[in-house]
């Protein structure tokens, strides 16, 4: 017999078998955020100066640009996963669809802008 309450079995309510996948993605991105944020804090702390030229030359190095892009991707994906849960729990009907579309557009647009800025500096755009 299935799990859940008898009324839930009658109504066809039960696990959609999708929760573990989402949960694992949140945990993996949280772990990567931890390591990449620690890298970022130590990398910035080891910089010789914090003026524009020092940061610009630091970010031109591929050893800084690649982890920065990974940090941006991980943080924004984790952000999207977390807000998706909030939207699914508290929004209903067409408001849910609109909120999810806005969340997706906002996340992609802001992450793409940040990645573009990092790539522009890394590939040698004029200061």
Q: What is the pLDDT of residues 66-113, one digit of tens each?
A: 999 999 999 999 999 999 999 999 988 899 999 999 999 999 999 999
At 15 the pLDDT is 62
Q: Does residue 127 carry a pLDDT above 90?
A: no
| pLDDT confidence tier of residue 124, bands split at 50, 70 and 90 | confident
The tokens for 60 are: 């031109």
Average pLDDT in the 50-66 region? 94
At 22 the pLDDT is 85
| pLDDT confidence tier of residue 29, bands split at 50, 70 and 90 | very high
At 111 the pLDDT is 98
């Amino acid at each position: 017999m299935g799990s859940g309450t008898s009324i839930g079995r009658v109504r066809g309510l039960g696990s959609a078998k999708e929760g573990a996948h989402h949960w694992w993605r949140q945990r993996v991105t949280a772990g990567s955020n931890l390591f990449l944020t620690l890298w970022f804090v130590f990398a910035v702390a080891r910089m010789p100066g914090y003026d524009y030229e020092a940061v610009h030359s630091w970010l031109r190095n591929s050893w800084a640009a690649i982890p920065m892009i990974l940090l941006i991707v991980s943080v924004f994906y984790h952000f999207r996963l977390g807000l998706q849960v909030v939207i699914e729990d508290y929004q209903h009907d067409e408001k849910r669809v609109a909120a999810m579309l806005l969340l997706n557009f906002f996340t992609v647009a802001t992450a793409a802008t940040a990645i573009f800025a990092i790539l522009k500096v890394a590939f040698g755009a004029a200061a």
